[in-house]
Amino acid sequence: MLGGPSAEREVSLRSGAAAAKALRSLGHAVHELDPRSPGWSLPPETDAVFLALHGTYGEDGTVQRQLDALGVPYTGCGAEASRVAFDKVLTKQRCVQSGVPTARFFTVDTQEAPFPKDFLPPLVVKPARQGSSVGLQFVNRVEDWAGALAEAFRFDSELLVEEKIIGRETTVGILDGQALPVVEVRPKRGSYDYQNKYTAGSTEYFCPADFDAATAGRIQAAALGAFQAVGGRDYARVDVMVQPDGLPVVLEVNTLPGMTETSLLPKAAAAVGMDFATLCQRMVELALRRNETLKMENSKTRPVAA
């Protein structure tokens, strides 16, 4: 499933096309389904659904609930974990409850909200329920506050505002309960916003990132902690800032990260010798394995006829 109705539709189409090509190269029969409008249906005898959807509908638990109702296995996190991880406020709350390091934050639900008394610039303003840095705003001066709220409120009715962490920007892929090597992200100018994410040549990536073993381990542990805090399964990608003292600060959890051959999760998998097609295959295997386990559990609890 690719495309969909969200603001990240174009990115999703690229992820889906790349995954479909990779799975076909392994001999799978692949049908590409774009759920842009309601009323879609799966082809008969679908073994599994590879979710390459990003943003609302695909990543917020909606399509997962629909597939659960159909009884069809799908790749990635379940409906509840997807709902929690897609909501940046809920994710932050889960991280705090689980002791995962994250920046101080508060929420805003009105454009008339005054600048907070107990915070100082710089701050980061994010729509609570968007991905790919859609609507991301930086408040470097108090005078920037009103304009940042106005722009971010174009994308959601609730905003997350957090202290801006100064340091190195990294991301950690999680696959089958294991943290992959750390990827460092270095935009050539500005921040790692939507434009720098998807404009070729505007950002440099380093994997494995140049950290000592102890620091890399702390970053991976924080990422895995956040993944577990939201109830993740199979795979995800966790964005982590690393402060100058080497301490990690989790930003967010992406349950359906980009899946082109140059995306960050595939880069991390390549660092441990897993090519793109093998990564896609592994994601499908995890979904199918979970489905087989569920069938076995159901057969054990089914009444036996006398």
Q: What is the CATH number of the domain that holds 152?
A: 3.30.1490.20
Average pLDDT over every residue of 125-146: 90
Average pLDDT over every residue of 83-112: 96
Least confidently predicted of 191-195, 204-208, 232-236: 191-195
Does 58 fall in a domain? no
Does 158 fall in a domain? yes
Contacts of 50 (CB under 8 A, 6+ apart): 1, 16, 19, 20, 23, 30, 74, 75, 280, 283, 284
Q: Which residues of 63-82 are buried (b: 16+ CB within 10 A; e: fewer)?
A: bbebbeeeeebbbbbbbebb
Q: What is the mean pLDDT of the chain?
A: 92
| Residue 154: strand, helix, or coil | coil
- Is the pLDDT at 290 greater than 70, yes or no? yes
Q: H or E element: which one contains 265?
A: helix 264-270
Residue 91: which pLDDT band, with cuts at 50, 70 and 90? very high
Q: Which residues of 120-136 are buried (b: 16+ CB within 10 A; e: fewer)?
A: eeebbbbbbbbbbbbbb
- Is the pLDDT at 101 greater than 80, yes or no? yes
pLDDT at res. 187 = 81
- Structural domain boundaries enclosing 124: 104-163
Residue 133: which pLDDT band, with cuts at 50, 70 and 90? confident
- Is the pLDDT at 26 greater than 80, yes or no? yes
Does 192 fall in a domain? no
Does 74 fall in a domain? no
Does 218 fall in a domain? no
Percent of the chain at pLDDT exceeding 90: 83
Does 80 fall in a domain? no
Does 51 fall in a domain? no
pLDDT at res. 131 = 74
Active-site residue list: 8, 132, 198, 237, 239, 252, 254, 258
Task: State both tokens at 156.
Answer: 């959601």
- Measured CA distances, 43 to 30, 31, 277 (Å): 10, 8, 23
Does 184 fall in a domain? no
Radius of gyration over every alpha carbon of the chain, rounded to an integer in angstroms: 20
Residue 306: which pLDDT band, with cuts at 50, 70 and 90? very low
Least confidently predicted of 95-99, 256-260, 297-301: 297-301
Domain count, the chain: 1
CA atoms within 13 A on the CB side of 272: 16
